[in-house]
Amino acid sequence: MRPTARLIARLNRAPMEPDDLSAVMGATVTGLTRISAGASRETWAFECDGRALICQLEPAGGATVGRGMAIEAQLLVLAAAAGVAVPAVVRSGDDLAGLGRSFIVTERLEGETIPRKLLRDDEFAAVRPLLARQAGEALARVHDMATGPMEDVLAAGDPVRQFGELLTVFEEPHPAFELALRWLDRHRPEPTGRTIVHGDFRTGNLLVAPGGLTAVLDWELSHIGDPAEDLGWFCVRAWRFGSPHRAGGFGSVEDLLAGYRSAGGRDIPVETVAWWEVMGTLRWGVICLLQAGSHLSGVTRSVELATIGRRAAETEWDLLELIRVGAPQ
C-alpha cells in the first residue's frame, strides 16, 4: 500500500490504537479508553509502566484549538512552577504516530469535573462551600506565572474589538450582542494588570476531589491579558449550571475575591469583576454562534455543536438582564 493510501486508511479507522501511544511512550500501553471530556479534542485514558495517564489529541483534519498543544505543554510546566495544581506533563509533540495530530500526555489525577456532580452530589456537599475561595486562590497563582517565556506567543488584543469583529461574520442580526458591545465600550474599567490569563477557568475545567480542588485543566485558551478576565469568566451564569451562587455555582464573588487576595492576588474591585462577567457572557454567546456555524457549514457535523449553538439565545437574555440593572444579579 502506498504511503498516502496507508495514511488515509489509518485516518478512516478508530482514531487511536494502543500501538500509536506505545511508540510515543517507548513502552507497552494498556487499557486505552476514550473518555468524554470536551467538544474540541479527543481525550484518552490509558496505563503505561504502572502509571495512570491521559492523552489529549487535537481533532482529525488539522483544526487547532487555541495556540496549539505544544504551547499548552509549556504553560503546564510554568503553572506547576508557580504553584498551580496541574497534572504533570509526561510527553508532548506535534505528530502522534504519523497522523499529523499534536498531543499531550499527562498524569491522570483523581477527582471529578462534571458540574452536575460537583454541584449536587452528596459526595461533594462538604467541600462545595469552600470551592469559590479555593478557586480564587488558584487564580492568584495562575496570575503569578512567569510571562517572559510566553510574551510573544500569548499576546492578545482588545476583547471588545475582537468580538465585535467576530459578530460581523454572521449574516443574521444579533441586536442584544450589539447592545452589549456598546455598553462594554462605554463602561470600561481601569485595567488591573497584565498577566497570563487561563482563559477558560470555570466549573467543568476544574478537577475536584471530596477534599477540595486538585487541578486546573484545559489551558488551550490561555493568553496574556487583564487578570480580572478570569474572575469574571468564572462568574458567568452559564458556568453556574442552575446554581444560585454567582462564583462558579459554589459561592459568592466575595468568597472568590477573598481567596484571591489571600493567595497574593491583586485587590480587584467587585465592579471590575462585574464588567468582565458581562464581557464573558458576550464571549460565550459569540462562541455559541461559532460552534453552531461549524456544524451548519459541514466543517464538523455534531449534535453537540448544534445544541450549543441554540444556547446563544440564553446569553442574549443574560446580557439584557445584566446591562439593564447595571450590575450582575
CATH number of the domain where residue 50 is located: 3.30.200.20
Examine the domain organization and report whether 307 and 210 are in the same domain.
yes
Give SS3 for 216.
Answer: strand
Examine the domain organization and report whether 144 and 293 are in the same domain.
yes
Number of domain units in the chain: 2
Examine the domain organization and report whether 150 and 207 are in the same domain.
yes
> Residue 212, class by beta-carbon neighbours within 10 Å (0-12 exposed, 13-18 middle, 19+ buried)?
middle
Q: What percent of the chain has pLDDT over 70?
A: 88
The CATH code of the domain that includes 184 is: 3.90.1200.10
Quick one: pLDDT at residue 210? 96
C-alpha cell recorded at residue 175: 441586536
The packing angle between helices 270-296 and 253-262, to 10°, is: 110
Quick one: pLDDT at residue 38? 59
28 pLDDT tier (thresholds 50, 70, 90): very high
What is the mean pLDDT of the segment spanning 144-164? 91
Q: How far apart are CA 321 and CA 329, in angstroms?
A: 8
Examine the domain organization and report whether 209 and 167 are in the same domain.
yes
Q: Give me the sheet containing 42-48, strands edge to edge.
A: 29-35, 42-48, 51-57, 103-107, 89-93
64 pLDDT tier (thresholds 50, 70, 90): low
Examine the domain organization and report whether 123 and 181 are in the same domain.
yes
Q: What is the mean pLDDT of the chain?
A: 89
Examine the domain organization and report whether 192 and 276 are in the same domain.
yes
Examine the domain organization and report whether 132 and 181 are in the same domain.
yes
End-of-domain residue from the set 60, 80, 107: 107
> Residue 208 forms beta bridges with which residues?
112, 213
The more confident residue out of 165 and 305 is: 165
Examine the domain organization and report whether 90 and 142 are in the same domain.
no
The more confident residue out of 60 and 218 is: 218
> Residue 44 forms beta bridges with which residues?
34, 55
C-alpha cell recorded at residue 144: 503569578
29-38, 128-137, 222-231, 261-270, range with the lowest pLDDT? 29-38
Task: Produce one character per residue of 216-229: b if its CB has 16 or more CB atoms within 10 Å, e if not.
Answer: bbbbbbbbbbbbbb
For the chain, first and last CA: distance in Å? 62
Q: What are phi and psi of 105, to 5 degrees?
A: -115, 125
83 pLDDT tier (thresholds 50, 70, 90): very high
Instruction: Give the side-chain half-sphere CA count within 13 A for 191.
Output: 8
Examine the domain organization and report whether 214 and 170 are in the same domain.
yes
Characterize the bridge pairing of strands 195-197 and 206-209: unpaired
Q: Which of 103, 41, 56, 78 is nearest to 154 (CA)?
A: 78
Q: How far apart are CA 173 and CA 198, in angstroms?
A: 31
Contacts of 35 (CB under 8 A, 6+ apart): 43, 44, 45
C-alpha cell recorded at residue 83: 504553584
Examine the domain organization and report whether 165 and 305 are in the same domain.
yes
Examine the domain organization and report whether 213 and 264 are in the same domain.
yes
Angle (CA) 260 262 265, round 5°: 45
C-alpha of 181 from chain center = 23
End-of-domain residue from the set 107, 128, 155: 107
Examine the domain organization and report whether 184 and 300 are in the same domain.
yes
End-of-domain residue from the set 88, 107, 126: 107
C-alpha cell recorded at residue 165: 469583529
36 pLDDT tier (thresholds 50, 70, 90): confident
The secondary element (H helix, E strand) that includes residue 260 is helix 253-262
**Which residue range is the domain that position 96 belongs to?**
3-107
135-144, 150-159, 176-185, 287-296, range with the lowest pLDDT? 287-296
